[in-house]
Chains A and B, each alone.
Chain A
Amino acid sequence: MTPASVVAPAEDPKRLADFEARIARGETIEPKDWMPERYRRQLIRMMSQHAHSEVVGMLPEGNWITRAPSLRRKMSLMAKVQDEAGHGLYIYCGTETLGVDRHDLILQLLAGTAKYSSIFNYPTISWADMGAIGWLVDGAAIVNQTMLAKASYGPYARAMVRICKEENFHKRQGFEIMTVLSGGTPEQHAMAQDSLNRWWWPSLMMFGPHDADSPNSGELSRWGIKRKSNDELRQRFVNMTVAQAKAINLTIPDEGMRFNEATANWEFSAINWDDFWRVVKGDGPCNRERLAARRKAHDDGAWVREAAAAHAAKQTESTEAAA
Chain B
Amino acid sequence: MSEPFFEYLLRLGDDRLVLGHRLSEWCGHGPTLEEDIALTNIALDLVGEANLVLQRAGQIEGAGRDQDALAYLRTDREYRNALMVELPKGDFGYSIVRQFLFSTYAMHQWEALSACADTDLAGIAAKALKQSRYHVRHSAEWLVRLGGGTDESHGRAEDALNDLWRYTGELFATDAVEQALVKQKLAVDSSSLEAVWRRDVADVVARATLTLPPDGYMQRGGRAGGHTEHLGLMLAEMQVLPRTYPGAKW
Contact = CB atoms under 8 A, between A and B. Distances in A.
Interface of A: 55, 58-59, 62, 65-67, 69-75, 78-79, 81-82, 85-86, 88-89, 92, 127, 180-181, 184-185, 187-188, 293, 296-297, 300-311, 314
Nearest to B245: A187
Contacts of B146: 304, 307, 311
Nearest to B238: A66
Contacts of A73: 250
Contact of B25 (A66, A71, A86, A293): A66
A293 B30 CA distance: 11
Interface stretch (B1-9, B66-74, B112-120): B66-74
Interface in B144-188: 144-146, 148-150, 152-153, 156
B31 A78 contact: no
Contacts of A308: 145, 149
Nearest to B34: A89
B249 interface: yes
B39 to A, nearest CB: 9
Contact of B28 (A59, A75, A127, A184): A59
Nearest to A60: B28
B111 interface: no
Ordered nearest first, which 3 A-B pairs have the shortest CB separation?
A: A301-B31, A307-B149, A307-B153
A176 B37 CA distance: 25
Nearest to B96: A304
Given A66-B24, A297-B30, A71 B240 contact: no
Interface stretch (B42-50, B129-137, B223-231): B42-50
A92 B34 CA distance: 12
Contacts of A187: 245, 248
B150 A81 contact: no
A82 B245 contact: no
Nearest to B25: A66
A303 B30 contact: no
Given A185-B245, A188-B248, A297-B31, A304 B153 contact: yes
Nearest to A72: B51
Contacts of B247: 185
Contacts of B144: 311
Interface string B74-98: 0000000000000000011100000
Given A66-B237, A184-B248, A74 B47 contact: yes
B40 A82 contact: yes
A89 B28 contact: no
B134 to A, nearest CB: 15
Interface residues of B, number: 50
Given A67-B238, A85-B40, A307-B152, A180 B249 contact: yes
A69 B37 contact: no
Given A78-B44, A303-B156, A70 B68 contact: yes
A72 to B, nearest CB: 7
Contacts of B195: none
Given A67-B237, A82-B44, A303 B248 contact: no
B47 to A, nearest CB: 6
A55 B33 contact: yes
Nearest to B250: A69
A181 B250 CA distance: 7
Contacts of A297: 28-31
Contacts of B35: 301, 304
Given A58-B28, A89-B37, A307 B150 contact: yes
A61 to B, nearest CB: 8
A69 B31 contact: no
B68 A303 contact: no
Interface string B213-250: 00000000000000000000000011011100101111
B27 interface: yes
A69 B242 contact: yes
A73 B241 CA distance: 12
Which residue of B24, B28, B238 has the most chain A CB atoms within 10 A of its CB atom? B28
